[in-house]
Amino acid sequence: MLRAPLGRIVLLALTLLVAGCGTMQVPVAGASADLSITASALIVGTNGQVALHAILPAGQTARVTWSIASENNAVSLGQGQIEPSGLYTAPGSLSADNVPVRIEARLANNPSAVASITLLVHPGFVQPLLPQNLALTPGTTTEVTAQIAEVDAGQVTWTLASSATGAQTTSGSLGTLSGSSCQRRTDRYTTCSVAYTAPNIIPANPVYVMASINDSHVVSRLHVLLNDRGIVSNPVANQQIQNTPAALGTSGGNDGDYDTYEDKQGNSYVADCCGGTLGALVQDEQKNQYILSNNHVLAESDQAQVGDTIDQPGLID
């Protein structure tokens, strides 16, 4: 806004460019529409929030009515929500790579005084890259999957990096990526996958598989744990059919995992007790053995003490 020589406040059309990605717009509306909008951000991801404030020429907070004035996202997905306080929440999914959403503010005591702002909404990742944990030996291959909050559109660009910030190293020293593809439908999120093959020689630097949505700054990363000790946590291998009989788990539980009640005479009785599956017996490099199970089975959901007795079979059995 500019101040005229005679002291009148005249609202001019302004467009504020931020990093080449979004715009903040205040339309020409005459002297009666002396109103502007500030925003905590001009770019927001799906389900993200932006705080908007309507300001009078003298800097006071204006009492306004907020509304969403655009329909650029698919009607079935919505344009997001704007609260009376000016807090905007972006929609949970998009129908395009980026969706501009224009929000208007009208003065409560003068509805003809209008200002607007355009926010740019981009899709985010629905969840971390899958698998979330990956250990591979040299030369082995696995599939990495990304799911983005965009329907019937969108793509993922895959790269390899030697740090979580995306630093690149010599091509091929971190492994290779191949077979990149995406599945898109109107009724579900876009899912993209790629095949990662570990290098034949374990590099000195860490290895990260990086996924970027629509070549934007929205990035998710997967740390690949390369090792020469035969440790493989690979969903492709885990989904192979087992040809030999697989032993089922045996029951067990914490000896103190039971509830009591008292009768009218004050006598205590065991009301119920619990048990669960002792999933596996594991051993570390020092040959120490441990039971691998769930928190609610062995530790009473964070209530156990060191030294508690673990029963086998479980009390209920």
Evaluate whether residue 241 is within a structural domain: no
Q: Are residues 46 and 98 in the same domain?
A: yes
31 in the same domain as 110: yes
- Of 131, 114, 14, 19, nearest to 64 (Cα)? 114
Least confident of 211-215, 234-238, 265-269: 234-238
Q: Is the domain of 214 the same as that of 109?
A: no
Which amino acid is it at 161? A
Q: Is position 44 within any domain? A: yes
Q: According to the per-residue pLDDT averaged within each range, which of 28-32, 107-111, 149-153, 292-296 is highest?
A: 149-153
Domain range for 198 is 134-236
The secondary structure element, H or E, covering residue 289 is strand 289-292
- Residues 181 and 139 grouped into a single domain: yes
Residue 33: inside a domain = yes
Domain end among 58, 91, 122: 122
Share of the chain above pLDDT 70, in %: 86
Q: Are residues 34 and 139 in the same domain?
A: no
- Does residue 41 fall inside a structural domain? yes
Cβ atoms of 10 and 31 closer than 8 Å: yes
Asked, for residue 18, whether it belongs to a domain, the answer is yes
CATH number of domain containing 212: 2.60.40.10
Q: How far apart are CA 46 and CA 54, in angstroms?
A: 23
C-beta of residue 273 within 8 angstroms of C-beta of residue 315: yes
One-letter amino acid at 157 equals T
Query: Distances in Å between the alpha carbon of 111 and those of 27, 51, 69, 101?
Result: 14, 21, 15, 21
Domain match, 117 and 142 both? no
Tokens of 227: 């090792």
Instruction: Cite the DSSP H helix spans in the chain.
Output: 235-238, 295-298
- For residues 58 and 139, state if they share a domain: no
Sequential DSSP letters for 99-147: EEEEEEEEETTEEEEEEEEEEEEE--BSSS-BSSSEEE-TT-EEEEEEE
pLDDT of residue 270: 79
- Quick one: which of 302, 279, 309 has its CA closest to 291? 279
pLDDT single digits (tens) 9-18: 233 333 333 3
How many C-beta neighbours within 10 Å does residue 239 have? 8
Can you tell me the distance from the alpha carbon of 206 to that of 164, in angstroms, rounded to the nearest whole number?
A: 9
Q: How far is residue 32's CA from residue 197's CA, in Å, rounded to a whole number?
A: 65
Which DSSP state fits 57? T
262 and 230 belong to one structural domain:
no
Asked whether residue 259 falls in the same domain as residue 283, the answer is yes
Q: What is the pLDDT of residues 4-55, one digit of tens each?
A: 333 332 333 333 333 333 333 333 322 234 799 999 999 999 999 999 999 9
| Domain contains 152 | yes
The count of structural domains within the chain is 3
Please spell the DSSP secondary structure of 12-32, one letter per residue: --EEEEETTTEEEEE----GG
**Do residue 98 and residue 183 come from a single domain?**
no
Answer yes or no: do 221 and 283 share one domain: no
Q: How far apart are CA 140 and CA 228, in angstroms?
A: 11
Contact 156, 212 (CB under 8 A): yes
As a whole number of angstroms, the distance between CA 282 and CA 292 comes to 7
Q: Decide if 121 contacts 101 (C-beta within 8 A).
A: yes
Residues 189 and 277 in one domain: no
Residue 75 domain flag: yes
User: Is the sign of the CA dihedral 10, 83, 100, 18 positive or negative?
Assistant: positive
Q: Structure tokens of 175?
A: 């492994």
pLDDT for 158: 96
- Give the helix/strand (H/E) hosting 96: none
Global confidence as pTM = 0.65
Whether residue 180 lies inside any domain: the answer is yes
Choose one of 60, 93, 122: the last residue of a domain: 122
Q: 236, 271, 297: which is the final residue of a domain?
A: 236
Please give the pLDDT value at position 241: 76
